[in-house]
């Protein structure tokens, strides 16, 4: 199974950019965007893992006999994993946004600096 | 039909179905939704338990296939024995915790149910991506619960939790995908079987990502600020869920995947160790209850990781069920209970927990949960730690043992400091009334821990069920705690008498003799307890536990039995001392030192087990020189408990600040426990040449303690502190006697023990009388009581004479034997110290009698009556004992000679005669008459001389006689030891505060720590992979 290096690298880069966003942005909404980017990056990585160079869709029919399936078909499993991961990412993003709304309601600020009460 | 209803897959059906039903039925009323939740949780618990039973009896796990296909084409789950155990624990705790959420909005109920289902999914699944999905289900449910928080702090903490765990989850996801990329498998069984295929750079990164993610979810130091904030601010029910249920699920996931990480186990162990120690260091500085529980939780998870990794590393997988399972269960149930209690009490600060004072049942529940977390008997954590440490010692992992014990000691320190605060009864508690029903889960948690503790004890190989007799007696007495003081006393006395008789009759040899001495002493002193007429809630149960444990101790045939009873004595005496508000600091100090002593003893037993490979006490006799370390540790532990010089700083405060009759118990009977331990260890060691070199050192320590204690006693003004130092000083003689490592030495030791018990019992009771009748404790405020309390005066004189080694009483016989034996061995330094100590001892005792009873009475001294009859009765019994020992020393000495191996005693001669012959010729009467005559002449001469001198000088008040000596004594006793230990305590707390500065409250900084931690794990694994071929 060969991995598409370009797509993989893009995915990892996107993950890192998202991580950087989470680490450096002070506005909560930007942090959430950073998380979303991180998630998208990881989904791209998932898809890239399944790719077979010059491969075709994993459907057994006249064009793709069973004997050649392993060599020529793109792996379907990572696609399923990607869909699951997207759904999970959706749910988490939704919860994060809900947090943002409640945090703003509590302190009228969306800056992460305003929420450093509990310490030591 | 029933079989399929209880199939484990139904857990998910019930969970998801219930999740749909809750909002639906909520339209009919909140009670319906709550009913669905409770029913669902009960069903899940039932399924887990029944599956467990089924797996246990079938011997094979339940394999659950889905999708109509076999793995790896479909996801499979498994309900094996470990899974069933974890599932049962989690679901029962969740069911109990459901009581705290039933009144919330339906969203909370829904999320609660889904969270529990998710955790059980994490436990059962055998697919890596499925594990990720369930992890996310649990996480999302947790985020949801946290987002419903009320206060800004709770929301902020929830968001920080969210940020950090999404990073960890992303790592886990990427790790899973990369594993798939490298191997093409997601099935855990397949991956474990084929783990060599996870190779190459991508495979390595994948494994470290998985490992890092799992460790991060367990909240390691320093990447756990987010977890601590949530523990601090979330409501008790949610915090309990996160701390116990969620952590249990993640830990089980780590357990499941552990074979993949078998090259990196040391990383897990080190991370766990750092977390455990640092969390407990920071815990010392906490002032908020839930945050303190948070530090304790993270520490316990660190300990669990450490235990798991180390047991695998040392190929001790057989110990894992008890050690890891016991700690797992212990933490799960006790932490949940404590967080539930915190949710009920609703007091943020530790000092506000004094609302618990005066509520005995709550205090017992609180105490039970704290004891369980601290790893004290009879709870599962204790047996688990025993198994763990024995296992580590077998593998020679002494450093890890030290780390575990250090962390445990720190944890016990802050947990019991909290308990002490809750005993403070001066606070106003009327405004707080918890509902009975609210407390049911907390009590159930305690009950569950007790039952599982019994189970764990059986697993640990405890054979003597009689070990539990003290606890059962205590429980029974607690049930009747509302009766009058006299009734309770009678029941307690009967219980101790009957139970003690049964326990003592089971002892043999040296143990039997000690048991008889302790038995008679305890009963005599219990008579004195009648002098207090107040209700004394909770006093008699704890007293019964302590006395029965003491009497059971000499009967112990294995190291485990000995250690359990040793710790029970420590615990019960702590609870007795802590009854007085003024004694809290003293009680805490006593507990920490006693626990430290216990840990040394535990370490000694563990090392001995490693060397001998058996736990039965008598086989120590065949140990070779390698057991020197074991005996050294045992001796250190027993000497700390006895209060040897340098480690005595806990003793004066503990004896002085406790209730007066408790002080008598502490000094007379509790202090004999380490002596017994030393005698047994020494007796066993004599057969191995291991410790004969240590013996001289121990003898010197003993005699230095005697001198030091005597000097410190001389400078005291408080009666009880003076008697405390005196007690310490006299124990030094006994330690030195044991250290003689000879037949003669042990005979002397037992003789001195019996003497010390009687004498100190008498003297502390005299002090009790004086304090009761005059309301004063300072020698400078007393005087002239001889006329008003003639009986007490006479008894005090008898006690002083018996103690000081003047003829004709027992002290003389004992000290003569001791010094003679030392001369025989050529121990000149100890002898000189001993003589000096005897002289100083005489000084402070005479001062005591003079200042209290002689001279002019103070004008404002109150009532003039003599001692209450219970105290007099007790003292009469003790004096009877002294007289028996004076006039019939053979009664004690001959049985000892018989108890010690006859072959051994025949080879020891003294002055050309065997000991049998000597005592055969011993006739005390001529000596006694002669010494009484001599003493009478000497005293008469002194009296005349003083009378003559007084005619020429002003009449000097008795108490100023010693004022001239005071500066000299003060100069000779610099407070080096107490300064040292005080400074050490301060530094430790300061260290904790400094480490806590890591937690700045900034959520993004916490994510940075998460990343640093992952990088650290990565580099550590890389280093390991590089170093190992």
**B710-738 tens-digit pLDDT:** 888 888 888 899 999 999 998 998 898 88
Q: How high is the pLDDT of residue B802? A: 81
Tell me the nearest-neighbour CA distance from B1008 into chain A, angstroms. 7
CB contact under 8 A, A1 and B229: no
pLDDT-wise least confident of B355-364, B448-457, B665-674, B903-912: B903-912
CB contact under 8 A, B152 and A103: yes
Instruction: Give me the phi and psi of B507, to 5 degrees please.
Output: -85, 160
The answer, for B1007 touching chain A at a CB cutoff of 8 Å, is yes
Of the candidates B655, B657, B677, the residue with the CA atom closest to the CA atom of residue B735: B677
Distance CA B645, CA B794 (A): 32
Q: How high is the pLDDT of residue B884? A: 81
Length of chain A: 120
Who contacts B103 (Cβ-Cβ below 8 Å, separation ≥6)?
A: B30, B34
The answer, for B155 touching chain A at a CB cutoff of 8 Å, is yes
CB contact under 8 A, A112 and B170: no
Query: Is residue A25 situated within a structural domain?
Result: yes
Does the pLDDT of residue A91 top 80, yes or no? Answer: yes
What's the first-to-final CA gap in chain B, in angstroms? 55
Average pLDDT over residues A43-67: 85
Query: Is residue A58 situated within a structural domain?
Result: no
DSSP 8-state code for residue B913:
E
- pLDDT category, B903, cuts 50, 70, 90? very low
Tell me the nearest-neighbour CA distance from B181 into chain A, angstroms. 6
Alpha carbon B635 to its chain centroid, in Å, reads 19
A-contacting residues of B 101-130, CB under 8 Å?
129
pLDDT in tens, B547-597: 999 999 988 888 888 999 999 999 999 999 998 888 899 999 999 999 999
Residue with the two structure tokens 């029944």:
B50
Q: Which residue of B has its CA nearest to A1?
A: B181
Of the candidates B792, B810, B789, B791, the residue with the CA atom closest to the CA atom of residue B801: B810
Q: Which tokens is B584 given?
A: 């809290």
In terms of Cβ atoms closer than 10 Å to its own Cβ (0-12, 13-18, 19+), residue B867 is buried
* Percentage of the residues of chain B whose pLDDT score is greater than 70: 87
CB B621 within 8 A of CB B604: no
CB contact under 8 A, A99 and B184: no
Q: Give A-chain residues touching B158 at CB under 8 angstroms.
A: 99
Instruction: Give me the phi and psi of A60, to 5 degrees please.
Output: -80, 115
Q: How high is the pLDDT of residue B97? A: 93
Closest CB from B140, B153, B174 relative to A92: B140
Q: Give A-chain residues touching B999 at CB under 8 angstroms.
A: 119-120
Q: How high is the pLDDT of residue B443? A: 92
CB contact under 8 A, A103 and B155: yes
Taking all residues of chain A, what is their mean pLDDT, rounded to a whole number? 89
Q: How high is the pLDDT of residue B958? A: 45
DSSP string, B731-768: HHHHHHHHHT-SHHHHHHHHHHHHHHHHHHHHHHHHHH
The answer, for B1003 touching chain A at a CB cutoff of 8 Å, is yes
CB B95 within 8 A of CB B14: no
Does the pLDDT of residue B623 top 70, yes or no? Answer: no
Question: How far is the CA of B275 from the CAs of B82, B297, B302, B324, B936, in angstroms?
Answer: 25, 10, 5, 17, 68
Q: How high is the pLDDT of residue B946? A: 61
Query: Is residue A57 situated within a structural domain?
Result: no
Alpha carbon B694 to its chain centroid, in Å, reads 28
CB contact under 8 A, B999 and A120: yes
pLDDT in tens, B624-638: 666 778 888 888 999
Q: Which residue of B has its CA nearest to A18?
A: B167
Q: How many helices (H) and strands (E) does chain A have?
A: 4, 0
pLDDT-wise least confident of B324-328, B445-449, B612-616: B612-616
Domain span at residue A106 reads 3-52+73-118
The answer, for B153 touching chain A at a CB cutoff of 8 Å, is yes
- pLDDT category, B893, cuts 50, 70, 90? low
The answer, for B200 touching chain A at a CB cutoff of 8 Å, is no
The answer, for B143 touching chain A at a CB cutoff of 8 Å, is yes
pLDDT in tens, B65-94: 888 888 888 899 999 999 999 999 999 999
Query: Is residue A62 situated within a structural domain?
Result: no
The answer, for B147 touching chain A at a CB cutoff of 8 Å, is yes
Who contacts B794 (Cβ-Cβ below 8 Å, separation ≥6)?
A: none
Q: Give A-chain residues touching B226 at CB under 8 angstroms.
A: none
Distance CA B643, CA B335 (A): 34
3-state SS class at A31: helix
Q: How high is the pLDDT of residue B918? A: 45
Tell me the nearest-neighbour CA distance from B996 into chain A, angstroms. 5
Q: How high is the pLDDT of residue B674? A: 93
Of the residues A49, A78, A79, A119, the best mutation for testing chain B's interface (the one with the most B CB atoms within 10 Å of its CB) is A119
Tell me the nearest-neighbour CA distance from A16 into chain B, angstroms. 11
CB contact under 8 A, A118 and B186: no
Distance CA B989, CA B286 (A): 10
pLDDT in tens, B684-697: 666 666 566 777 88
Query: Is residue A93 situated within a structural domain?
Result: yes
A 10 A CB-CB count for A54 gives 8
Q: Which residue of A has its CA nearest to B153?
A: A117
Of the residues B132, B156, B158, the best mutation for testing chain A's interface (the one with the most A CB atoms within 10 Å of its CB) is B156
Pairing label, strands B913-914, B76-79: unpaired
Average pLDDT over residues B411-426: 89
Query: Is residue A44 situated within a structural domain?
Result: yes
Closest CB from B158, B170, B174 relative to A99: B158
CB-based contacts of B241-244 (< 8 A; 24+ apart in sequence): B241/B94, B241/B97, B241/B112, B241/B115, B241/B142, B241/B145, B241/B336, B242/B142, B243/B293, B243/B294, B243/B297, B243/B335, B243/B336, B243/B339, B244/B90, B244/B93, B244/B331, B244/B332, B244/B333, B244/B335, B244/B336, B244/B339
Q: How high is the pLDDT of residue B95? A: 95
> Chains A and B: how many Cβ contacts under 8 Å?
125
CB contact under 8 A, B233 and A24: no
CATH code of residue A105: 1.10.287.3510
SS3 sequence of B359-396: CHHHHHHHHHHHHHHCCCCCCHHHHHHHHHHHHHHHCC
Closest CB from A35, A78, A112 relative to B1004: A112
Half-sphere exposure in the Cβ direction for B288 (13 Å, CA)? 16
Of the residues B173, B186, B232, the best mutation for testing chain A's interface (the one with the most A CB atoms within 10 Å of its CB) is B173
Highest mean pLDDT among B6-15, B790-799, B916-925 belongs to B6-15
Q: Which residue of B has its CA nearest to A33?
A: B163
Reported pTM: 0.91
Q: Into how many domains does chain A fold? A: 1
Q: Give B-chain residues touching A1 at CB under 8 angstroms.
A: 181, 184
Query: Is residue A109 situated within a structural domain?
Result: yes
Query: Is residue A65 situated within a structural domain?
Result: no
Q: Give A-chain residues touching B74 at CB under 8 angstroms.
A: none
Half-sphere exposure in the Cβ direction for B917 (13 Å, CA)? 8
CB contact under 8 A, A117 and B1004: no
- pLDDT category, B919, cuts 50, 70, 90? very low
DSSP 8-state code for residue A53:
T
């Amino acid at each position: 199974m060969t991995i598409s290096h370009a797509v993989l690298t893009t995915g990892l880069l996107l993950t890192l950019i998202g991580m950087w966003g989470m680490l450096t942005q002070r506005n909560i909404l930007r942090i959430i965007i950073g998380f979303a980017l991180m998630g998208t990056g990881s989904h791209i990585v998932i898809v890239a893992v399944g790719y077979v160079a010059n491969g075709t869709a994993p459907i057994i029919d006249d064009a793709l006999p069973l004997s050649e399936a392993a060599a020529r078909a793109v792996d379907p499993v990572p696609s399923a994993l990607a869909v699951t991961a997207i759904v999970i990412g959706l749910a988490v993003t939704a919860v994060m946004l809900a947090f943002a709304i409640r945090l703003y309601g509590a302190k009228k600020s969306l800056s992460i600096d305003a929420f450093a009460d509990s310490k030591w | 039909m029933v079989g399929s209803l209880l199939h484990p897959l139904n857990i998910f059906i019930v969970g998801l179905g219930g999740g749909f039903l809750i909002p639906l039925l909520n339209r009919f009323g909140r009670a319906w939704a709550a009913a669905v939740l409770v029913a669902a949780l009960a069903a899940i618990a039932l399924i887990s338990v029944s599956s467990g039973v089924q797996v246990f009896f079938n011997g094979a796990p339940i394999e659950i296939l889905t999708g109509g296909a076999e793995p790896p084409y479909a996801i499979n789950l498994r309900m094996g024995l470990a899974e069933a155990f974890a599932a049962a624990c989690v679901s029962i705790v969740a069911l109990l915790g459901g009581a705290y959420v039933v009144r919330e909005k339906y969203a909370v109920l829904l999320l609660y149910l889904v969270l529990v289902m998710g955790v059980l999914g994490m436990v059962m699944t055998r697919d890596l991506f499925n594990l990720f999905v369930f992890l996310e289900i649990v996480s999302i449910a947790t985020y949801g619960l946290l987002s419903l928080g009320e206060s800004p702090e709770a929301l902020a903490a929830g968001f920080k939790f969210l940020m950090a765990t999404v990073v960890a989850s992303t790592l886990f996801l990427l790790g899973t995908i990369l594993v798939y990329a490298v191997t093409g498998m997601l099935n855990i069984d397949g991956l474990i079987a084929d783990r060599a295929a996870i190779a190459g750079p991508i495979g390595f990164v994948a494994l470290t990502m998985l490992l890092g993610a799992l460790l991060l979810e367990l909240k390691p130091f320093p990447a756990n600020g987010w977890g601590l904030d949530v523990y601090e601010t979330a409501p008790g029910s949610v915090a309990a869920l996160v701390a116990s249920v969620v952590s249990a699920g993640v830990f089980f996931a780590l357990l499941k995947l552990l074979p993949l990480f078998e090259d990196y186990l040391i990383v897990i162990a080190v991370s766990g160790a750092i977390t455990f120690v640092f969390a407990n260091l920071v815990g010392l500085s906490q002032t908020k209850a839930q945050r303190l529980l948070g530090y304790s939780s993270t520490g316990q998870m660190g300990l669990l990781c450490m235990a798991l990794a180390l047991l695998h590393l040392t190929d001790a997988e057989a110990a894992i069920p008890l050690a890891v399972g016991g700690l797992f269960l212990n933490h799960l149930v006790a932490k949940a209970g404590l967080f539930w209690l915190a949710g009920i009490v609703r007091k943020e600060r530790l000092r506000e927990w004094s609302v618990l004072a005066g509520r005995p049942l709550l205090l017992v529940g609180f105490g039970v949960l704290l004891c369980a977390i601290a790893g004290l008997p009879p709870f599962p954590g204790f047996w688990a730690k025993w198994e763990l440490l024995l296992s580590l010692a077998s593998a020679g992992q002494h450093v890890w043992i030290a780390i575990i014990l250090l962390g445990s000691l720190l944890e016990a320190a802050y947990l019991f400091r909290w308990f002490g605060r809750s005993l403070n009864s001066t606070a106003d508690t009327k405004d707080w009334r918890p509902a009975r029903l609210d407390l049911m889960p907390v009590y159930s948690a305690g009950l569950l821990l007790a039952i599982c503790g019994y189970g764990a004890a059986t697993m640990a190989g405890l054979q003597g069920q009689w070990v539990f007799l003290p606890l059962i007696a205590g429980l029974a007495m607690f049930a009747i705690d509302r009766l009058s003081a006299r009734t309770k006393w009678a029941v307690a006395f009967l219980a101790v008498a009957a139970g003690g008789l049964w326990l003592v009759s089971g002892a043999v040899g040296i143990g039997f003799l000690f048991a008889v001495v302790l038995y008679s002493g305890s009963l005599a002193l219990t008579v004195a307890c009648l002098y207090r007429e107040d209700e004394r809630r909770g006093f008699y149960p704890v007293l019964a536990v302590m006395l029965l444990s003491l009497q059971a101790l000499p009967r112990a045939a294995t190291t485990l039995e000995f250690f359990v009873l040793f710790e029970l004595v420590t615990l019960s005496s702590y609870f007795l001392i802590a009854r007085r508000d003024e004694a809290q600091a003293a009680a805490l100090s006593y507990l920490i030192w006693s626990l430290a002593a216990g840990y040394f003893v535990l370490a000694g037993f563990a090392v001995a087990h490693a060397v001998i490979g058996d736990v039965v006490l008598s086989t120590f006799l065949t140990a070779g020189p390698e057991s020197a370390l074991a005996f050294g540790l045992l001796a250190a532990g027993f000497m700390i408990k006895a209060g040897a010089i340098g480690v005595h700083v806990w003793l004066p405060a503990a004896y002085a600040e406790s209730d007066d009759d408790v002080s008598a118990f502490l000094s007379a009977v509790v202090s004999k426990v380490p002596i017994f331990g030393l005698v047994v260890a020494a007796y066993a060691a004599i057969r191995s040449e291991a410790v004969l070199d240590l013996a001289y050192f121990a003898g010197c320590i003993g005699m230095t303690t005697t001198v030091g204690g005597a000097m410190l006693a001389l400078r005291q003004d408080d009666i009880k502190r003076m008697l405390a130092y005196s007690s310490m000083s006299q124990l030094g003689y006994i330690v030195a006697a044991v250290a003689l490592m000879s037949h003669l030495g042990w005979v002397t030791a037992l003789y001195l023990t019996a003497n010390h018990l009687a004498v100190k019992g008498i003297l502390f009771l005299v002090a009790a009388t004086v304090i009761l009748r005059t309301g004063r404790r300072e020698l400078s405020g007393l005087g002239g009581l001889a006329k008003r309390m003639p009986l007490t005066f006479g008894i005090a004189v008898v006690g002083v004479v018996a103690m000081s080694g003047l003829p004709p009483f027992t002290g003389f016989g004992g000290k003569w034997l001791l010094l003679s034996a030392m001369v025989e061995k050529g121990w000149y330094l100890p002898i000189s110290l001993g003589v000096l100590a005897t002289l100083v001892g005489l000084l402070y005792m005479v001062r005591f009698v003079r200042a209290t009873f002689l001279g002019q009475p103070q004008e404002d001294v109150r009532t003039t009556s003599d001692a209450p009859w219970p105290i007099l009765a007790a003292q009469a019994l003790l004096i009877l004992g002294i007289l028996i020992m004076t006039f019939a020393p053979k009664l004690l000495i001959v049985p000892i000679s018989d108890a010690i191996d006859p072959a051994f005693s025949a080879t020891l001669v003294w002055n050309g005669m065997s000991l049998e012959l000597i005592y055969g010729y011993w006739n005390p009467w001529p000596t006694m008459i002669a010494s009484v005559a001599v003493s009478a002449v000497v005293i008469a001469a002194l009296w005349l001389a003083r009378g003559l001198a007084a005619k020429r000088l002003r009449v000097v008040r008795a108490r100023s006689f010693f004022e001239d000596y005071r500066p000299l004594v003060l100069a000779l006793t610099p407070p080096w030891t107490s300064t040292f230990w005080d400074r050490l305590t301060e530094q430790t707390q300061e260290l904790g505060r400094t480490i806590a500065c890591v937690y700045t409250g900034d959520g993004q900084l916490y994510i940075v720590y998460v990343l640093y931690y992952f990088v650290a794990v990565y580099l550590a694994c890389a280093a390991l992979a590089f170093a190992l071929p």
